[in-house]
Structure 1
Amino acid sequence: MIRFVTVFLAMAGLLAALPARAEPLRILALGDSLTAGYQLPPEAAFPVQLEAALKARGHDVVVVNAGVSGDTTAGGLSRLDWSLGEGADAVIVELGANDALRGLPVASARANLERIVGSLAERGLPVLLAGIAAPRNMGEDYVAGFERMYAEIAADHDAVLYPNFLAGIPITAETVLPDGIHPTQKGVAIIVEGILPKVEELIARAGAARG
């Protein structure tokens, strides 16, 4: 019995001396239907595919789906605190597509994104800001101002920039749903492949912030 207690105490001391295993890095994906996975099975949504791709590259991460279909930049701003409720180490912000589709003023979208990214920066959270291409029928001035705002906001707040969330997706039945807007599971895989280097840059920043 004494021998058992001695061995047990020795093992307990050894375990106590080992460094605690770090918690997975928690990335919040704040966005609209492009993040949420509109009309896709849960496992096909952007956050799930992104998490799988990152884990395959050796990253210990959890990517939280905070996408809401139909959300505008104003909607994202209104639920920012709630979405961060369980904590995050970094945030991907993908918003603005619905503002552009509805022809909402660029100044309003910009103000909302400024507040979102600025608030996250104040909390010390690294941000990846994903832009979106505005519909060309909105006119040259609208398109130019809308697309320029992402780069300018990212520069102002030292955020990682991915200029066009939907870059590289061909308009085919395999990659885009019949609405001509939302990606299929294969289309989401193309998004993940394109944005992956920027997300790894975000992870590096989050790791440095953790110390």
Structure 2
Amino acid sequence: MDANMLRYNYIVFLVIIVLFSSCGNTPKQEKEHTSPAASADTSSARAPEKAGPVKNILFFGTSLTAGLGVAPEQAFPALIQQRIDSLSLPYKVINAGLSGETSAAGKGRIDWLLRQPVAIFVLELGANDGLRGLPVKETTTNLQLIIDRVKKKYPEAKLVLAGMQMPPSMGQQYTTAFKNIYPGLAKKNHMELIPFLLQGVGGNASLNQKDGIHPTPAGHRILAENVWQKLQPEL
């Protein structure tokens, strides 16, 4: 009886030791196994950083650029920004369009806008000059002065010129001379030329607002495509 009791007590003693050893090791084991996993989850959730600084694309123009009559996010410069963002490109679009802007007025406004860095300059001016019948030579001179100021301030900036055309009601001689402003300036200044910003939109009632001049949201989507074809290779 005494021998059996001693054997029983010995077995109980061993069981207690095993249980305490197991309980003591569990927290340490859990810590060792869960900590690396938690660290891996944190690093995988971290958003990737953009490579390099964000560069500015300055759209300098008239009410067409400003998006008169449509919501700001529907104007073609905003649509260009959406495409840029979808491709994760490091560019920021600055919409410096102003309703009623002429080449002469733009000449007086450009220096203020050039206070911020410009990597790509998109010039969309001259339409209001043409609609007012201003001399083609005067418009050409003003646009060249604007281009010169951009080149002087940011000689490395890439330049894009949005071509415009006048309706036949302005007379063949004037419309031809006006149309020729843009390829001439583009060639002289090594600019990427959008032959006609309103290609596919101008004269189409369904793509213009009631004034017959300013595009609808659908029209701006076509303008964005016209611009993107020439702008994308510069990015």
* Displacement over 6 Å in runs of 4+: none
**Residue 96 of structure 2 aligns to a residue in which SS?**
strand
| Paired letter, 1:194 | N
Q: Which residue of 2 aligns with 1:86?
A: 116
8 Å contact kept, 1:32–1:68:
yes
Instruction: Name the one with the larger helix percent.
Output: 2
In structure 1, stretches of 5+ residues that fail to align are: 1-18, 204-211
Matched, 1:131 2:163: yes
1:48 aligned residue = 78
* Deviations, residues 101-133 of structure 1 (Å, cap 9, x unaligned): 101110110001111112222331211000111
**Equivalent runs, 1:115-194 vs 2, <5 Å:** 115-122=145-152, 123-124=154-155, 125-169=157-201, 171-173=204-206, 175-194=207-226
> Does 2:96 correspond to 1:63?
no
| 1:114 lines up with 2:147 in the alignment | no
The Cα offsets for residues 42-86 of structure 1, whole Å up to 9 and x where unpaired, read as 111221111112222442211101000000111111100111222
Structure possessing the higher radius of gyration over alpha carbons: 2
1:201: how far off? 2.6
Sequence identity (%): 35
Q: Deviation string for 1:173-210 (max 9, x for gaps)?
A: 3x21000000011110111112212111332xxxxxxx
The answer to whether structure 1 residue 77 and structure 2 residue 110 are counterparts is no
Kindly indicate whether structure 1 or structure 2 has the higher relative contact order, using CA contacts under 8 Å at least 6 residues apart. Answer: 1
Of 11, 16, 36, the residue aligned with 2:66 is: 36
The residue aligned with 1:198 is: 230
Using the TM superposition, give the Cα deviation of residue 20 of structure 1 relative to its aligned residue in structure 2, in angstroms.
Answer: 8.6
Contact 1:100 1:135 in 2 (8 A): no
Selected match of 1:95 from 115, 119, 125: 125
Check the 8 A contact 2:199/2:223 in 1, yes or no.
Answer: yes
What RMSD over aligned residues (CA atoms) do the two structures have, in Å?
A: 1.6
Deviation string, structure 1 residues 87-110 (Cα, Å, up to 9, x no partner):
211110001110011011101100
Cα distance in 2 for partners of 1:20, 1:60 equals 7
Stretches of structure 2 that go unaligned for 5 or more consecutive residues are 1-48
For these two proteins, the number of residue pairs brought into alignment is 184
Q: TM-score, normalised by structure 1?
A: 0.82
